[in-house]
Each structure stands twice: as C-alpha cells, then as structure tokens.
Structure 1
Amino acid sequence: MTKMKKAKKPFYKRIWVWALAIIIVAAIASGGEEDTATESTATEEKAVTETADTKTEATKEEAPKVEETKAEATKEEAPKEEPKQEEAVQEEPVQEEPAKPEVSLSQQNAISKAEQYLDYTAFSHSGLIEQLTFDGFSNEEATFAVDNITVDWKEQAVKKGQDYLDYTSFSRSGLIEQLTFDGFSREEATHAVDTLGL
C-alpha cells in the first residue's frame, strides 16, 4: 500500500494559531504584571498606611509631652505670687526731737542781761562773758548765756570799731590791736577795719 502524505495545513491557519498563542501568552504576562503592579500598589499603600499610623501614634505620644511642656512653661512664665504683706502695717517709730536742755532761772537771767548789753553797746564773745561774770553770774552761767544767743561777732567788731573812731582817732593797726584787746579775733578785727575803711 502506498502511504498517503498528510496534507499540510494552510499557512494562514498556522499563523492564526501562533497569533492566538502569542495573545494568550501576552494576556498571561499582562495579568501577571497587573497582579505585580497591584501587589506593588497594595504594598505601597500598606507602607503609607503604616507610616501614617506610626506618625499618628507618635503624634499621640508626643501630644501629652507637648502639653506637659506647655504647662511647665506656663507655670514658669506665670508671675510668682508675692508674699502677702502683713495686713497690720507696723507704725514707724516717731522720732522724738532731742529734748531742749532745761534752762535754770539764773541762766535765763544771764541770757536776758547779755541781750540788754548788746542792745546798749558792742561786745566780743569773750568780752561779754567777762562782763556777765563781773555782774555776778558764774562763768558757767555767763558762757551758757553767750552761747545761746544769736550774734554776728563780725558785726559786733564793726560796731565797736565805730564807737572807738567816734571817740578818738586810730590808725589801722592801732584799731586792730584795740579790738583784739577787747576779745575779738584777728579775723573779726581785720574785717571791722576793712569795713570802716581804714
């Protein structure tokens, strides 16, 4: 028997088979890529979600710390309460004026006598004390009296110098010597002579 040759399929049918196979492979490959892409996207979304969750948890953990820090800062910034002053204000002690020395009757009389002499004529400090002791007052009483009256001794020197010039003539140096003899200081005597024009 003679073998019969198999009839070859037409070329266009083979191409169609190959095309179908390529489409199937491409579809499978495409499906795999989509799955991979989907898996990748899901992984990324999961990572983002986990990151967000981590941030949220971190924020939740940090929130109380921030609040505590703010509270501490507020406490530090808040002005410290000043201690309450005592309601009862302590009264300041009244400063008493130094008591004036008691003046005895004899001292008062010595003061009055000194003022009468000064109304009548001019005296130096020491000259007035001598006059009062001459009148019978003790040296202590006379000194107390002269120290407790208000007198410008330079002015007294001028008056005494004028009294001398009204009575007699004096040179400059002679009048200075006379005034110092009467108990005026050199300065007081010189002031008197300068004022009188000698």
Structure 2
Amino acid sequence: MTKMKKAKKPFYKRIWVWALAIIIVAAIASGGEEDTATESTATEEKAVTETADTKTEATKEEAPKVEETKAEATEEEAPKEEPKQEEAVREEPAKPEVSLSQQNAISKAEQYLDYTAFSHSGLIEQLTFDGFSNEEATFAVDNITVDWKEQAVKKGQDYLDYTSFSRSGLIEQLTFDGFSREEATHAVDTLGL
C-alpha cells in the first residue's frame, strides 16, 4: 500500500487561522485588562463619590455654623435698629379713613360744643336728631377731644343760671342729660353745691 501524502493547506489559509488565534488571544487578554480597567475606574469613581459625600456632609455641618454666625451678627445689629422702628410706629398711629359724612358730623359736634355744653350721649342724640346716622354721630363724638367733666360743670352752671337746684337735684338733672354719676358729682362739687 502506498501511503498517500497529505495535502498541504495553502499558505493564505494558514495565515487566517493564525490571525484568528492572535485576535482571540488579544481579545481575551484585553478583556481581562478591560475588567481590570473597569474595576480601577469603578474604584476611582467610588473614591470620588465618597470624597464628595464627605465634603457635602462637612458642608452641611458647617452651614448651620455659618448661619448661626450670621444670626448672631444680625442679632447684635438688630437691637440697634428695632427700637427706632418701634418708636416710629408708636409716634404715628394709624388714622382711620374719614368719610365726608363723618367729617361733617365732627364739624357739627364741635359747633354744638362751642355753643353749649353736652354729655357724650346727649351730643350723639343731638347729631342723630340733625339727620346723621347713629354710626356717624358716634364716630364724630368719639373722635373729638372733649373733657366730659368740664362739660358737666358748664351744663350745671347753665342750669344754675336759669334756676335754683339742690345738690341731689342738680346731680339727678345732669345724669338725666346723659352725664355719668361721676361727671355729675364732679360738676356739683366744682360749682360748690
């Protein structure tokens, strides 16, 4: 028997096999390197993240300290300014809006007081008799400066100029006119009854 000779594969087929083997080996080798590189990158990223977290925590801890420092500085400065603002508020109380009817009622009330003496309630009654609403009349009487005890003395003097009264009679008449018991008693004491 004759032995058959094995046919040799052409050269270009052998090169492809070797090239494929080299590529596979290189891929495996670089794949391992990629895993190592990936692990290194992941480790570096973790370290960066931990550092950033640490810085954030430190910043969070420092932030209240900074705010406390700012608050302390503000507290030290604030008391110097606050009393001035409070004084300004105390000096300028808010004035109510006054309508034309209310202004007219105030003007009429002042005219009556220039003419004769009235009690608080007596002046309100007179203004409502003149056509002002009870609210307008009350607003007017409450927003004028009047010494009601002095008004009681004037009214008591008017009565005494007209006719004679006993002490209790004049007190009774003044309280009937709307003066308080205290205002009537003050008037009688001042007039010498």
Give TM-score, length-normalised by structure 2.
0.53
Runs of 4+ in 1 over 3 A off after TM superposition: 1-88, 94-99
TM-fit CA distance, 1:101 = 1.2
Alpha-carbon deviations, 1:125-166, whole Å to 9, x = none?
000000000000000000000000000000000000000000
Distance 1:159 1:83, change over 3 A: closer
Further displaced range: 122-131 or 19-28? 19-28
| Offset of residue 38 of structure 1 | 82
CA shift in 2, pair 1:98/1:83, >3 Å: closer
- Normalized against structure 1, the TM-score is what? 0.52
Match of 1:174 in 2: 169
Residues 38-90 of structure 1: per-residue CA shift (max 9 Å, x gap): 999999999999999999999999999999999999999999999999999xx
Percentage of identical aligned residues: 99
* Residue 111 of structure 1 pairs with residue 106 of structure 2: yes
Which is richer in helix? 2
Aligned partner of 2:134 in structure 1 is 139
1:4 to 1:62, Cα distance in 2 relative to 1, 3 A: same
Task: Give the 3-state SS of the residue equivalent to 1:78 in structure 2.
Answer: helix
Greater Cα shift, 22-31 or 43-52: 22-31
Aligned length in residues: 193
Deviates more, 1:38-47 or 1:161-170: 38-47
What is the Cα-based RMSD across aligned positions, in Å? 21.3
Other structure's SS at 1:175 match: helix
Distance 1:180 1:2, change over 3 A: closer
Task: Quote the offset at 1:100 in angstroms.
Answer: 1.6
Counterpart in the other structure of 1:101: 96
Pair 1:156-2:164 in alignment: no
Unaligned runs of at least 5 residues, structure 2:
none
- Counterpart CA distance in 2 for 1:12 and 1:135 is 129
Q: Which has the larger radius of gyration?
A: 1
Which deviates more from structure 2 when the two are superposed, residues 180-189 or residues 73-82? 73-82
State the match for 1:45 in structure 2: 45
Alpha-carbon offset, residue 95 of structure 1: 8.7
Question: 1:34: Cα distance to partner?
Answer: 90
The corresponding residue for 1:129 is 124
Q: Distance in 1 between matches of 2:19 and 2:137?
A: 154
Aligned to 1:11: 11
With over 3 angstroms needed to count, the CA separation of the structure-2 counterparts of 1:147 and 1:74, relative to structure 1, is closer
Structure 1 unaligned spans of 5+: 89-93
Structure 1 9/67 Cα, relative in aligned 2: closer, same or farther at 3 Å? Answer: same
